[in-house]
Amino acid sequence: IFLNVFDVHVNRSPISGTITGLFYQKGKFGNAMSAGSSDANEQNVVTVQGDGQTVIFKQIAGLLARRIVFNPRTGDRLERGQRVGLIKFGSRVDVLLDENVDIQVKVGDRVAGGSSILGELRAGQSRAEGAR
C-alpha cells in the first residue's frame, strides 16, 4: 500500500489479535515505490496472531517519509481497524497474509484504511470475516 503526501498516513491493524513480534530494522530511505525498498529501507515489522491466522505488516520509510510511529508493544491485543501508528509524509505499508486468504484487491486499487477489505479467509477456515 503506497501512501503519498496527500493520503491519510494512519496505519491500522489488519486483524484482531495479539502482537507476537515487533522488529525495527534500520535501513535506507530510498523511493518506497521501488521493488527493493521492502527489504532495504528502514522499517518496522509487526506480527499479529489471532483466530488461527497470522498477519505480518511492515511500515516502510521512504525518500521523504523518514519517521515511523508505532505505539503498541509485543503482547498487546489489537482490534481489527484499530489505529496503531503512522508513517509521516507518506511511504508504504506491506501486508503479508496467510496463504488461506483470498485477496480482494489488485495492484493499482485505491484502498481506504479501516474500510477496504484486503482479503477474506476461504470457506471452512476458523474465521469468517476479512482482514481490513
List the catalytic residues.
91
Distance CA 16, CA 95 (A): 14
Q: What angle do CA 62, 9, 53 make, to 5 degrees?
A: 90
- The closest alpha carbon to 63, from 92, 26, 23, 24, belongs to 92
Whether the CB-CB separation of 10 and 112 falls below 8 Å is answered with no
Whether the CB-CB separation of 60 and 93 falls below 8 Å is answered with yes
Q: Which cell numbers hold the place of 82?
A: 484499530
- The closest alpha carbon to 78, from 120, 23, 132, 15, belongs to 15
Whether the CB-CB separation of 13 and 84 falls below 8 Å is answered with yes
